[in-house]
Amino acid sequence: MKTFKVEMKFNVGDSDLTMDDIDDKLFEAGYGDAFVCHNGKGSVSITFNRKEISKFELVRVTRIQIKQLFPEVEWLADSK
């Protein structure tokens, strides 16, 4: 498997979550090594490296995991 770098941009869709809440959920889900940026309004960008069979598969799996963490997630168009 190759290592791929991805950046996922999304809005958590829950205005009650603080940045610390979001960070905690991401950390507990295994994204403790990810670089996380917030805009303070629920929009988040995470950048990380993972081994996977393809970049497409890595993005697909990550979207499933993030959707489980934040059921009301809205994906931003410029995720790579």
Question: Tens digit of pLDDT for each residue in 67-76?
Answer: 999 999 999 9
**Confidence (pTM):** 0.87
Q: What is the pLDDT of residues 35-56, one digit of tens each?
A: 999 987 889 999 999 999 999 9
**What CATH number has the domain bearing residue 51?**
3.30.70
Asked if residue 7 belongs to a domain, the reply is yes
In the prediction, which pLDDT does 73 show? Answer: 96
Asked if residue 53 belongs to a domain, the reply is yes
In the prediction, which pLDDT does 77 show? Answer: 76
User: Among 65, 27, 61, 66, which residue's Cα sits nearest to residue 43?
Assistant: 66
Asked if residue 80 belongs to a domain, the reply is no
| Nearest-angstrom CA–CA distance, 12 and 69 | 9
Asked if residue 52 belongs to a domain, the reply is yes
Domain assignment of residue 50, given as a range = 2-75
Q: Is the pLDDT of residue 18 over 70?
A: yes
Asked if residue 30 belongs to a domain, the reply is yes
| Nearest-angstrom CA–CA distance, 16 and 23 | 14
Q: How many domains does the chain have?
A: 1
Q: Is the pLDDT of residue 79 over 70?
A: no
